[in-house]
Structure 1
Amino acid sequence: MKYSLHKIIDDVSQYESKIVNEASGSLDEALKMISYLQEVLIALKASVVKEGFDSEWEEINFFRNVKPGVLGKLIYYNKVYRIECACPLGSGKIYRNYFSNQIKELKQEFEENI
């Protein structure tokens, strides 16, 4: 491949740190990261289709480490975005109940997928 697979992971981590520090809220942060991660996945796909891999080890490393890392972050930020968009306005008991239910659902999903 044209560039190092470790560089891809580092670039994603650096961009994530930058966005976390700059974003005005978790919804803004999630939107920016979703857009960025989708672009990264599209670029990775194009690079793999065009250039392929230099070795079998590089291919295995890509599909075991790099792609799942980027895709996992995309899934995470999509989930954050959906939770934040569906959040009721205001504060108080309704607000706490909403997030309490979301935490329960996330824990259940986590337990089912381990």
Structure 2
Amino acid sequence: MDGEIDLETYTLSIIRLNSAFEKLENNEPISDIKEMFHESYSDLDKLYHEIVEDLNQEEVNINEYYLFFSNGKQIFPQYIEILESIDNEELDGEITSLMKVFNNLNKIAEPFSANGMIK
């Protein structure tokens, strides 16, 4: 990455994840939901690793991350909570993976505040 968060990939993965939640609620085929969860996890995990790599550079344009992580401090815990509430053994692996990546993103988000300061 070049100091910019791939917001398109992030947005698509969240849309896909929300669609999977809707399919789950509508009792649609688990195989479709499982694939959507897997694809969202892949995108989010790749994004997480790119962000970690960027933040570990000697020079970081931290402004790129403020809005993303200030918003993430609210959003990531909500997704973790939703995933924790799903009781479906067929999806356990995907749920565990998604929870892991959201927990990782949430850990990075913790020091970011809405007013643009790092705690």
TM-score range, shorter chain: 0.3 to 0.5
Q: TM-score, normalised by structure 1?
A: 0.43
Larger relative contact order (Cα-Cα within 8 Å, sequence gap ≥ 6) = 1
In terms of fraction of residues, the more helix-rich structure is 1
The TM-score, its normalising length taken from structure 2, stands at 0.42
